[in-house]
């Protein structure tokens, strides 16, 4: 089936990104995290297939397979470099030195130089803090990132795995100082984990930031390969790792998996395609990772799945989080405007 890609505006910029992004976490033969072990030859084929399908966003990190993911992606993406956007990350430990991790100017400056070398590129389109640094200071990592932008090393700053207050503070400081805005946040989001809807997503909507969803299939749980009450088999991601990651509520979570299975049968597609189509229906970007061409092709074809309104509502309802305070109070107090408001 021919894949007809869809695109969303990237943040408040004039750039657009595909609703499916290619996740390069599976690239690298060391396979340190038991996630893929993809070879260079297979990487080349997968990247070409993704590009031919219309994907123009490719995500990696300096810590994926100890840097080999960046090296492989850089080689695979070279024929298409000017037509795509590369996203990578900084924060994780890259060596044994005391300062070889975190968001210090020292570590970030060395890390970006090495990422540029591994990716064999002169610039990084989306450079993301991979997570919060408990010992970091906004002043230091914000000014360092802005220096990267001014120097032409980075097009767009971004974050990953930040809390709402952290994102709000850095965005406000960046705008106040005339620094480049932070245009996206890469966060764990799927039918099995909608936690960011409490605070992070409302903040992102306010700032017109794009959500890049990592692990949209929740480590493969939403593919249907794992069963309620059964130990994950060896040869699967969870079986090889020995635990479920990301974690989820296994008491209620399997009910969500069952509903995804029901809708997949109704649609005549796979469970993976339903789970990805649900994220796309919300206007977000789903980062897809694959171990082989078959998985990649299955995920690519999710853009051809058009969930019915009733099906989306069923998925929303069964996976909905309990409203927390003060969110439910805000909603209650703002229910007094019972007239039509034309926006």
Active site residues: 64
In 181-292, alpha helices (H): 200-206, 237-241, 250-267, 271-281
Measured distance CA(48)–CA(189) in Å, rounded: 27
* Backbone dihedral angles phi then psi of residue 109, each to the nearest 5 degrees: -65, -40
Nearest to 90 by CA among 58, 61, 55: 61
Gap between the Cα atoms of 18 and 287, Å rounded: 10
> Under 8 Å CB-to-CB from 163, ≥6 apart: which residues?
132, 199, 200
DSSP state of 134: T
Residue 217 CB contacts under 8 Å (≥ 6 apart), including other chains = 190, 223, 272, 275, 276
Within its chain, how far is the Cα of 301 from the centroid?
Answer: 18
């Amino acid at each position: 089936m021919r894949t007809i890609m869809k695109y969303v505006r990237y943040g408040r910029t004039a750039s657009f990104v595909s609703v499916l992004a290619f996740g390069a976490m599976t690239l690298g033969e060391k396979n340190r995290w038991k996630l893929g072990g993809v070879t260079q030859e297979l990487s080349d084929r997968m990247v070409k297939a993704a590009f031919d399908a219309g994907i123009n966003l490719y995500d990696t990190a300096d810590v994926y397979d100890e840097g080999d993911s960046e090296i492989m992606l850089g080689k695979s993406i070279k024929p298409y470099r000017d037509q795509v956007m590369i996203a990578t990350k900084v924060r994780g430990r890259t060596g044994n030195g005391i300062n070889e991790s975190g968001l210090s100017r020292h570590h970030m400056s060395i890390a970006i130089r090495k990422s540029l070398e591994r990716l064999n590129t002169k610039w990084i389109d989306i450079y993301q803090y991979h997570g919060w640094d408990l010992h970091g200071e906004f002043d230091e990592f914000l000014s360092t990132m802005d220096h990267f932008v001014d120097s032409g090393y980075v097009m767009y700053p971004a974050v990953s795995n930040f809390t709402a207050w952290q994102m709000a503070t850095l965005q406000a400081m960046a705008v106040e100082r005339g620094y480049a805005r932070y245009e996206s946040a890469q966060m764990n989001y799927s039918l099995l984990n909608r936690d960011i809807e409490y605070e992070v997503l409302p903040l992102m909507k306010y700032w017109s930031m794009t959500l890049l969803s990592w692990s949209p299939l929740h480590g493969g749980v939403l593919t249907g390969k794992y069963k309620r009450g059964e130990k994950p088999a060896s040869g699967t991601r969870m079986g090889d790792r020995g635990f479920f990651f990301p974690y989820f509520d296994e008491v209620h979570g399997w009910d969500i998996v069952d509903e995804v299975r029901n809708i997949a049968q109704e649609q005549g597609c796979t469970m993976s395609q339903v789970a990805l189509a649900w994220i796309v229906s919300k206007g977000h970007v789903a980062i897809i990772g694959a171990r082989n061409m078959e998985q990649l092709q299955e995920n690519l074809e999710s853009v051809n799945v058009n969930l019915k309104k009733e099906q989306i509502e069923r998925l929303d309802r069964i996976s909905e989080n309990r409203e927390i305070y003060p969110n439910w109070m805000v909603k209650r107090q703002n229910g007094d405007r019972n007239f039509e408001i034309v926006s």
